[in-house]
Structures are given as structure tokens and as C-alpha cells.
Amino acid sequence: AQSVTQLDSQVPVFEEAPVELRCNYSSSVSVYLFWYVQYPNQGLQLLLKYLSGSTLVESINGFEAEFNKSQTSFHLRKPSVHISDTAEYFCAVTSISNFGNEKLTFGTGTRLTIIP
């Protein structure tokens, strides 16, 4: 079984300040990791994902996440946030298997609020 923990349900940050959204996972096998973002009144969309290779992955809008196997973490960071980053962020994990159709397990989400 796999699980995801997002300890921070809400994170308020001043505009242009850095932010880190924490994600820890639990799995007995190797995993793929994802961050999805949900802007107000919209569905979720993929922000970035870790499958293999470099442990640091980046998105097109300045977010990055680092896969840390020893700490079972996949924290999301941005050095300088913008008002448009206001959204709810979901970390998700899936275990690598032979079936090819495994489901995603989502965390409970972190609501990021940018303060002008």
C-alpha cells in the first residue's frame, strides 16, 4: 500500500517570497511522484513529475521539486511566488508495477495563498 502526507493544509506567503510545500510518501516499492495544481474553480492539472533520472524536476512556471529517497520526500519549492500561484497543490504517488494501470494516491492538499 502507498500513502501521501501533506502536513500543511494552508500556507500563506507574501508575494515575491520563497515557498516550500511539503510532501512525504510511504511505499514498500519504487514510486513515481507527481505534483498537481488546482486553480480556483478548475480541475487539477499536472505541475511536474518524477519518474527516474535526475532527482530535481522543474515546471515551466518556476516550481521545482526534489525526490529524496532516504527521507521519502518530494517537496515543492519556488524561489519567488506570484499572485497567480494562488491555488491548491496536491502531491500524488503511484507504485511501479508490472500492470501498467496502477492508480494514483493523492495527498490531502495544501492551499497556497499569496499575500500582496
Position 24 contacts other proteins (CB under 8 A)? no
Give the interface segment with other proteins, choosing from 14-22, 63-71, 76-84, 92-100 (CB under 8 A).
92-100
Using the rule CB under 8 A, which residue among 3, 7, 9, 20 binds other proteins? 9
Backbone angles phi, psi at 71, to 5 degrees: -100, 5
Position 54 contacts other proteins (CB under 8 A)? no
Position 40 contacts other proteins (CB under 8 A)? no
CA 49, CA 74: separation in Å to the nearest integer?
Answer: 10
**6's grid cell:** 501533506
Between 41 and 84, name the residue whose CB sits nearer to other proteins.
41
Contacting residues for 15 by C-beta, under 8 A, at least 6 apart: 81, 82, 83, 114, 115, 116
Contact 78, 14 (CB under 8 A): no
Binding region for other proteins (CB under 8 A): 6, 9, 32, 36, 41-46, 49, 51, 90, 94, 96-97, 100-104, 106-109
